[in-house]
Amino acid sequence: MLTRIATAVGAALVAAVALTVPAAADNADSAPARATTTRSADASTAQAAKSAPQADARKAAAWGYVIDGSCGGREGAIRGGANYWGGATEGSGTPVNCVSGYVEGCGARGSEPVYQAGGVIGCNWGAGQKITLSTLASDFQLLAAHEFGHNWYGHSGYACMSWNSPDEVMAPTMCG
pLDDT of residue 110: 60
Tens-digit pLDDT profile for residues 35-92 = 332 222 222 222 333 344 544 444 445 799 999 999 999 999 999 999 999 989 999 9
Tens-digit pLDDT profile for residues 94-126 = 999 999 999 988 876 666 777 777 789 999 998
pLDDT: which is higher, 10 or 53:
53
pLDDT of residue 76: 97
Cα→Cα distances 91→28, 57, 65, 68, 88, Å: 26, 24, 6, 10, 10
